[in-house]
């Protein structure tokens, strides 16, 4: 009987011990799993937070880089680029440019300042006679004069251009193929009214009398004379020019 009780007590003790061990093992496993899960969750949270912070840092750094690059490009465009070359190697740089002048830097900067000056907004004169081509055919009593005048209009609007004519009679005048608007100004001077910026062509048809004496014929006239002007005179063969013009060439019609 004692042996049976002893066996029963031993079995009960073993069962309690095994149950206690199992419970302890389960508790330890639960705590270990919970701790691992918490550690994993904490690690994931820290990793995600770290990645998010890194993303914020990178995202914030990109605009700064872009702004810095934009500011650098603007500064680079505004500043002039200077390259310093040793004087001993200057011939290598200029060997393909034989037409050159070496001047001091101070003189070069002064030339740049003069070149950067703003040009005059308005021309000193609104219109000028740029060139003239005259042809005169003289006979015994009078001279037929024709002229082609190139007029440059330099300003917008309608302008009155004086025509320095004297000793001649104006028979016809055309401006760009149309009747020219001509009137009398102060002192009886003829004035041409012209508009439209650019060149214009004025055709004049004039006549002038020849004053005859016993052995001389005199032609007195005054025509507009710009810097570029030419005049051709046709006269009978026995006429000799005493003054007022230089003879460039003489042609004689032998058949006449």
Rounded CA-CA distance 245/231 in Å is: 9
> pLDDT per residue over 69-121, tens digit each?
444 444 455 667 777 878 788 777 777 777 777 788 889 888 888 887 766 66
Rounded CA-CA distance 94/100 in Å is: 8
pLDDT computed for residue 8 by the predictor: 44
Rounded CA-CA distance 62/223 in Å is: 77
pTM of the model: 0.51
* End-to-end C-alpha distance for the chain, whole angstroms: 183
The class level of CATH for 127-234 reads: mainly beta
SS3 label, residue 142: strand
> pLDDT per residue over 185-228, tens digit each?
888 889 999 999 999 999 999 999 988 777 777 888 899 999 89
Q: Where are the domains of the chain?
A: 1-82, 127-234
Which of 69-83, 119-133, 170-184 shows the lowest per-residue confidence on average (mean pLDDT)? Answer: 69-83
pLDDT computed for residue 205 by the predictor: 97
pLDDT computed for residue 45 by the predictor: 52
Q: Percent of the chain scored above 70 by pLDDT? A: 61
Give me the chain's average pLDDT, please: 74
The pLDDT of 11-34, averaged and rounded, is: 51
> pLDDT per residue over 159-169, tens digit each?
999 999 999 99
Confidence tier at 233 by pLDDT (50, 70, 90): confident
Q: b or e along 218-254 (b: 16 or more beta carbons within 10 Å of the residue's beta carbon)?
A: ebebebbeeeeeebebebeeebeeeeeeeeeeeeeee
């Amino acid at each position: 009987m004692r042996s049976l009780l002893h066996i029963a007590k031993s079995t009960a003790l073993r069962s309690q011990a095994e149950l206690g061990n199992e419970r302890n093992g389960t508790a330890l496993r639960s705590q270990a799993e919970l701790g691992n899960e918490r550690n994993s969750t904490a690690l994931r949270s820290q990793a995600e937070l770290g990645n998010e912070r890194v993303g914020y840092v990178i995202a914030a750094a990109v605009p700064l880089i872009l702004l810095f690059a934009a500011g650098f490009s603007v500064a680079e465009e505004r500043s002039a680029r200077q390259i310093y070359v040793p004087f001993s190697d200057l011939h290598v740089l200029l060997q393909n440019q034989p037409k050159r002048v070496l001047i001091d830097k101070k003189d070069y900067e002064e030339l740049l300042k003069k070149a950067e000056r703003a040009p005059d907004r308005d021309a000193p004169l609104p219109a000028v006679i740029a060139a003239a081509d005259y042809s005169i055919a003289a006979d015994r009593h009078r001279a037929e004069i024709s002229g082609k005048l190139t007029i440059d209009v330099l300003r917008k609007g309608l302008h009155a251009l004086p025509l320095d004519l004297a000793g001649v009679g104006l028979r016809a005048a055309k401006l760009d193929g149309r009747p020219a608007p001509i009137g009398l100004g102060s002192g009886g001077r003829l004035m041409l009214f012209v508009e439209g910026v650019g060149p214009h062509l004025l055709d004049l048809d004039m006549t002038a009398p020849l004053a005859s004496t016993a052995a001389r014929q005199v032609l007195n006239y005054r025509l507009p004379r710009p810097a570029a002007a030419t005049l051709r005179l046709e006269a009978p063969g026995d006429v000799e020019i005493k003054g007022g013009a230089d003879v460039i060439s003489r042609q004689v019609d032998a058949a006449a």
